[in-house]
């Protein structure tokens, strides 16, 4: 995995609470056998009207969303399914970070393994970010800090191991493969 | 030393390396279930790195999500909805062959929805760690296993190392006091629970369901409850094994037999939360207060009992959900016209669920203009149901009787609800578009679903089942 140390980008805001994985990538696009190409279906049923044309009212379709890589979302983002297609779709659509006050367990775990920064901030900061779409943020992964355009800073929560893996570009499968001796011992003891 | 929870006991027995502040635990996986949708990229990863599957014997694959529920055509080809769906199934077949994994293929008498067949085969057992690239793996916790869904990267981790990197979740207890009333189902109970604690009420937790009402549930009902733990945001749900668990497992194809059974049983009897075990959070539920419960909104926490009116929207998002569903606050769900009724899924696609639906439909007709689909959870459920003549009941009532699979629960295989249509469904998710773009979903028990089919409107199942009992 490529290290993820810093991110500097504008935010897009999707204030809805409980944005589920079916919303992020509907099940009908899961009949794929690769990780690529899911970006065009990210938020499909919000992004496109029933005739297939983009809905100009949806934030991701607005001109100001172009190039913005940080998604600020309402509480409990990514709830529902375990499909890793959700973070794949977001990454493929150019999103590099998701910030919320609460992120569903499996989504977060999936996101971080793919280098998508899924981070949580305190409620007050969350409310502030929701109210100010388009903010230029600097995210410093190692320091665990977000810097606002005016220089104001606040911290975010990220598991120590996930942070280490992101900053050093460590791949978790490689880490697990190095546990071979301990795994063998366990198998000998437990059959 | 304080007592240990069931979660503690299973966790400790599977920790290959303990968790530290800097690193998660390395957790050993006893059983890894694999299906066609979330595995292709994991196998590709193994291939790219030249890795083998570490313990093929602990891995079991089946196909359920994108598989058709209509029988194969004259040429023997199942009617896949798209070439991609067919390709996904072929890919799983090829991967299982290449990596030496047992596959319960489309022609297997043991195939079905992954969470239905694990218990059915006796592959799911108390004290195990069970994972699958599917969030409803929580179902298997009904047997006192620690069972949870993982992503595709983790599927690759387990294939290659039989282990996962995991932080230990917190332990939450849901104590269900008293007994459920007649005509109230396990599905009603779990919808009620999610309504109480919210769709993120269990985030970061494993829920252990306890109490008299839980003990009184059959194994199939316990699976329904544990299945929907993820809908409360929990990693897993579990219920300590007891006589009902042992009775269910005894004699099943993959359960231990003879002397091994006796030895294993002794171990299973140690699997409970100690009296002085401490939970991080305890929620109490009064079973007698639970009524037939249905969802009215666009997530499984937006539920209401059949006797009450739809709650007022507390904010713009809740109002949006009501608008999507075409429902008005204050009015009761009962009487809402229904277009589609779906009985099936890993939540309610087992034999007892089909029996409950058939009990309502027997001697009655699906209302004009309503389409009803009944999809058994597995090939075995289908056989058993047909042996009892349930298929004949469904067919006579005007419902479609299909081949096993996920079907309209996830609408990946062509079985879907049309835009704007309202479906009463025994599945587990009512997210916008879950059953097809623009589809509106009301989650309900099998009896409630069947009652809606007969009435053509959302109806109180007790009006049908009680009448049945009296007759
Ligand atoms: S029945 Fe539905 S919830 Fe269950 S495994 Fe299939 S798609 Fe998932």
> Can you read off the two tokens belonging to residue A101?
């006050």
Question: By the 8 A CB rule, do A149 and B7 touch?
Answer: no
Average the pLDDT over B214-243 and give the result: 98
Domains of chain A, by residue range, sit at 6-190
pLDDT value at residue B465: 79
Residue B2's pLDDT band, with cuts at 50, 70 and 90, is: confident
Tell whether the model's pLDDT for residue B284 goes beyond 60: yes
Nearest to A103 by CA among B174, B135, B200: B200
Residues in CB range of A59: below 8 A, 6 or more apart? A12, A13, A14, A65, A133
Q: Which is the CATH superfamily of the domain at A6-190?
A: Aconitase, domain 4 (3.20.19.10)
Question: By the 8 A CB rule, do A107 and A77 touch?
Answer: yes
- Chains A and B form CB pairs within 8 A to the count of 172
> What are the pLDDT digits (tens) for B7-27?
999 999 999 999 999 999 999
Residues in CB range of B27: below 8 A, 6 or more apart? B11, B14, B15, B16, B129, B163, B164, B165, B166
> What are the pLDDT digits (tens) for A51-70?
899 999 999 999 999 999 99
Torsion angles phi and psi, residue A153, rounded to 5: -130, 150
% of chain B at pLDDT higher than 90: 96
Average the pLDDT over A19-39 and give the result: 93
pLDDT value at residue B466: 60
What is the edge-to-edge ordering of all strands in the sheet holding B281-286?
B236-238, B205-210, B170-177, B281-286
Q: What is the residue-averaged pLDDT of chain A?
A: 95
> What are the pLDDT digits (tens) for B304-357?
999 999 999 999 889 999 999 999 999 999 999 999 999 999 999 999 999 999
Interhelix angle B351-361/B219-227, nearest 10 degrees: 100
Tell whether the model's pLDDT for residue B76 goes beyond 90: no
Q: Which atom of ligand 1 is nearest to the CA of B35?
A: 5
How far apart are the C-alpha atoms of A124 and B453, rounded to whole Å? 47
Average the pLDDT over B215-235 and give the result: 97
Nearest to B456 by CA among B296, B299, B341: B341
> Can you read off the two tokens belonging to residue B445?
């028990």
> Which residues partner with B177 through β-bridges?
B286
Tell whether the model's pLDDT for residue B74 goes beyond 90: no
DSSP class of B71: P
What residue owns the CA closest to ligand 1's atom 2?
A: B409
* Cβ atoms < 10 Å from Cβ of B211: 17
Tell whether the model's pLDDT for residue B468 goes beyond 70: no
Query: Is the minimum CB–CB distance between B199 and chain A shorter than 8 Å?
Result: yes
* Lookup result for tokens 């097809």: B436
Tell whether the model's pLDDT for residue B119 goes beyond 80: yes
DSSP B172-223: EEEEEES-PPTT--HHHHHHHHHHHH-TTTTTTEEEEEESHHHHTS-HHHHH
Tell whether the model's pLDDT for residue B467 goes beyond 80: no
How far apart are the C-alpha atoms of A52 and A103, rounded to whole Å? 30
How far apart are the C-alpha atoms of B447 and B424, rounded to whole Å? 11
Phi-psi sector, A115: left (phi>0), alpha (psi -120 to 50), beta: left
Nearest to A55 by CA among A64, A66, A44, A65: A44
The three-state secondary structure class of B130 is: strand
- The sign of the torsion formed by the CA atoms of A30, B152, B88, B351 equals negative
Torsion angles phi and psi, residue A9, rounded to 5: -165, 170
Residue A146's pLDDT band, with cuts at 50, 70 and 90, is: very high
> What are the pLDDT digits (tens) for B151-204?
999 999 999 999 999 999 999 999 999 999 999 999 999 999 999 999 999 999
- 3-state percent helix, strand, coil for chain A, nearest multiple of 5: 40, 20, 40
How far apart are the C-alpha atoms of B157 and B154, rounded to whole Å? 5
How far apart are the C-alpha atoms of B38 and A81, rounded to whole Å? 11
Q: Which atom of ligand 1 is nearest to the CA of B429?
A: 3
Quick one: B261 exposed, middle or buried, by C-beta within 10 A (0-12, 13-18, 19+)?
middle
> What are the pLDDT digits (tens) for B402-434?
999 999 999 999 999 999 999 999 999 999 999
Nearest to B116 by CA among B386, B376, B445, B394: B376
> Can you read off the two tokens belonging to residue B43?
């196998």
Chain B (398-437) residues lying within 8 Å, Cβ to Cβ, of chain A: 410-412, 419, 429, 431-434, 437
DSSP class of A72: E
What is the edge-to-edge ordering of all strands in the sheet holding B25-28?
B15-17, B25-28, B163-166
pLDDT value at residue B469: 47
pLDDT value at residue B321: 95
Ligand 1 within 6 A of CB of B346: yes
* Cross-chain Cβ contact A183/B163 below 8 Å: yes
Radius of gyration of chain B (CA): 21
Nearest to A89 by CA among A120, A43, A32, A146: A43
> What are the pLDDT digits (tens) for B356-408?
999 999 999 999 999 999 999 999 999 999 999 999 999 999 999 999 999 99
DSSP class of B199: T
pLDDT value at residue B471: 41
Residues in CB range of A3: below 8 A, 6 or more apart? A166, A167, A168, A169
> What are the pLDDT digits (tens) for A151-173?
999 999 999 999 999 999 999 99
What residue owns the CA closest to ligand 1's atom 4?
A: B346
What residue owns the CA closest to ligand 1's atom 6?
A: B406
Q: Give the Å distances, CA to CA, from A76 to A80, B165, B167, B186, B194.
A: 10, 23, 19, 26, 15
> What are the pLDDT digits (tens) for B235-260?
999 999 999 999 999 999 999 999 99
Question: By the 8 A CB rule, do B400 and B373 touch?
Answer: yes
Ligand 1 within 6 A of CB of B410: yes
* Cβ atoms < 10 Å from Cβ of B215: 16
How far apart are the C-alpha atoms of B396 and B362, rounded to whole Å? 8
Ligand 1 within 6 A of CB of B415: no
How far apart are the C-alpha atoms of B414 and B405, rounded to whole Å? 12
């Amino acid at each position: 995995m490529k290290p993820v140390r810093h991110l500097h980008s504008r935010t897009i805001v999707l204030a809805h609470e409980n944005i589920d994985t079916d919303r992020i990538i509907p099940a009908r696009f899961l009949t794929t056998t690769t990780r690529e190409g899911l970006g065009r279906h990210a938020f499909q049923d919000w992004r496109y009207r029933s005739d297939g044309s983009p809905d100009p009212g949806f934030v991701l379709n607005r001109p100001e969303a172009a190039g913005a890589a940080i998604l600020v979302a309402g509480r409990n983002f990514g709830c529902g399914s375990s499909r890793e297609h959700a973070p794949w779709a977001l990454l493929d659509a150019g999103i590099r970070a998701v910030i919320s006050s609460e992120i569903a367990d499996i989504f977060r775990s999936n996101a971080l393994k793919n280098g998508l920064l899924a981070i949580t901030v305190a409620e007050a900061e969350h409310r502030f970010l929701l109210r100010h779409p388009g903010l230029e943020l600097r995210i410093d992964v190692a320091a665990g800090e977000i810097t606002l355009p005016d220089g104001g800073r606040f911290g975010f929560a990220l598991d120590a191991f996930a942070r280490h893996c992101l900053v050093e570009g460590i791949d978790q499968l490689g880490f697990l493969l190095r546990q071979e001796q301990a795994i063998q011992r366990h198998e000998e003891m437990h059959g | 030393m304080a007592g240990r929870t069931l979660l503690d006991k299973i966790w400790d027995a599977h920790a290959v390396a303990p968790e530290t502040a800097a690193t998660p635990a390395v957790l050993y996986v006893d059983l890894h279930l694999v299906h066609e949708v979330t595995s292709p990229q994991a196998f590709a990863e193994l291939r790219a790195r030249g890795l083998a599957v570490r313990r093929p014997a602990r891995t079991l694959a089946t196909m359920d999500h994108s598989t058709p529920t209509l029988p194969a055509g004259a040429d023997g080809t199942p009617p896949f909805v798209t070439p991609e769906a067919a390709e996904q199934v072929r890919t799983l077949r090829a991967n299982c062959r290449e990596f030496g994994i047992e596959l319960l293929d489309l022609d297997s008498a043991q195939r079905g929805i992954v969470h239905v067949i694990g218990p059915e085969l006796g592959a799911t057992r108390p004290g195990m760690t069970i994972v699958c690239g599917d969030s409803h793996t929580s179902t298997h916790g009904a047997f006192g296993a620690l069972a949870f869904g993982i992503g595709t990267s983790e599927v690759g981790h387990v294939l290659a190392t039989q282990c996962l990197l995991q932080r230990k979740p917190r332990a939450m207890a849901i104590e269900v006091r008293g007994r459920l009333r007649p005509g109230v189902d396990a599905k009603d109970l779990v919808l009620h629970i999610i309504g109480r604690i919210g769709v993120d009420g269990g985030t970061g937790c494993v829920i252990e369901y306890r109490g008299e009402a839980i003990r009184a549930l059959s194994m199939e009902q316990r699976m329904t409850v544990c299945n929907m733990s993820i809908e409360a945001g929990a990693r897993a749900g579990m219920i300590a094994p007891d006589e009902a668990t042992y009775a269910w497992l005894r004699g099943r194809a993959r359960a231990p037999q003879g002397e091994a059974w006796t030895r294993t049983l002794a171990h299973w009897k140690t699997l409970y939360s100690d009296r002085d075990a401490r939970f991080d959070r305890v929620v109490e539920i009064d079973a007698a207060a639970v009524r037939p419960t249905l969802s009215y909104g666009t997530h499984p926490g937006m539920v209401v009992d059949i006797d009450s009116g739809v709650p007022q929207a507390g904010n713009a998002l809740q109002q949006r959900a009501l608008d999507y569903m075409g429902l008005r606050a204050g009015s009761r769900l009962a009487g809402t016209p229904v277009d589609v009724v779906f009985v099936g899924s890993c939540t309610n696609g087992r034999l007892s669920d089909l029996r409950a639906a058939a009990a309502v439909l027997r001697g009655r007709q699906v209302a004009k203009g309503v389409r009803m689909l009944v999809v058994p959870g597995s090939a075995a459920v289908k056989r058993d149901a047909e042996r009892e003549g349930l298929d004949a009941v469904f067919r006579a009532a005007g419902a479609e009787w299909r081949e096993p699979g996920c079907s309209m629960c996830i609408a990946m295989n062509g079985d879907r609800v049309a835009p704007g249509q309202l479906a009463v469904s025994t599945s587990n998710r009512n997210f916008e578009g879950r059953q097809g773009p623009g589809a509106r979903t009301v989650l309900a028990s099998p009896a409630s679903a069947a009652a809606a089919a007969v009435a053509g409107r959302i109806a109180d199942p007790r009006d049908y089942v009680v009448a049945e009992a009296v007759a």
